[in-house]
Amino acid sequence: MKTVSMKPVVQKPRKDGFWAVYIRFTFDGRCHFWKTSKVVSSQNVKSKSEITDSYVLSFCSSLILQWMEKLNHVDYSAWNINDIVEYVTNDDSQVSFSSYARTYIEKIDKPRTAKNYTLVLKHLEKYMGTCELMWWPMVHHHTLTPLHTQVSTAHRFRRMPATAMPTKYGTSVIWAKVATF
């Protein structure tokens, strides 16, 4: 599996002599620099881009630790570097897709429709491997690509209401096969 590396670096001095601190993301041979709110003086810059200021390093290290913990809970192997930076720099106050879906399902008047939506939500949560889906991964185009491929090639069976059909052996339940997506 591809890994993401993050490191606090500086690039070039500003006009006032201080250096802006960046977090360098490296993934799949590509780099992305994310600017932090920290700056260091020329005395705290060693060689080309290494920082020696312990306060700035501890700040950046805690930030990197949070981001790596966040990345450990998702499969980012199909993402590009921009997607990874966008994901980790978003705050955690995201809206939960699962809670929104459950609220929507409770408002549905038709019990059969509500049951179908509940089943879809449960299967989607099972597929994604979590009981609490967030909006960001749901709208991300790489997340649902494998699922879309499976759905488009699979045959869909819809459970119809159990209707008794007369046969020569009595009655039986018929399941209707519907066309594919």
Q: What is the pTM of this model?
A: 0.54
Confidence band (pLDDT; 50, 70, 90) for 178? very low
Domain housing 101: 91-143
Q: Phi then psi for 144, rounded to 5 degrees?
A: -100, 5
Q: Is 67 exposed, middle or buried, given 0-12, 13-18 or 19+ CB atoms closer than 10 A?
A: buried
Confidence band (pLDDT; 50, 70, 90) for 65? very high
Question: Which residue reads 């159990």 in tokens?
Answer: 162
Q: Number of structural domains, the chain?
A: 3
Alpha helices in the chain (DSSP H): 54-71, 81-89, 97-107, 111-128, 135-139, 145-153
Query: Are 17 and 51 in a shared domain?
Result: yes
Q: Which of 89, 104, 128 is the last residue of a domain?
A: 89
Mean pLDDT of the chain: 77
pLDDT value at position 163? 44
Residue 89's CB is within 10 A of a number of other CB atoms, namely: 13
Contact between residue 181 and residue 153 where contact means Cβ atoms under 8 Å apart? no
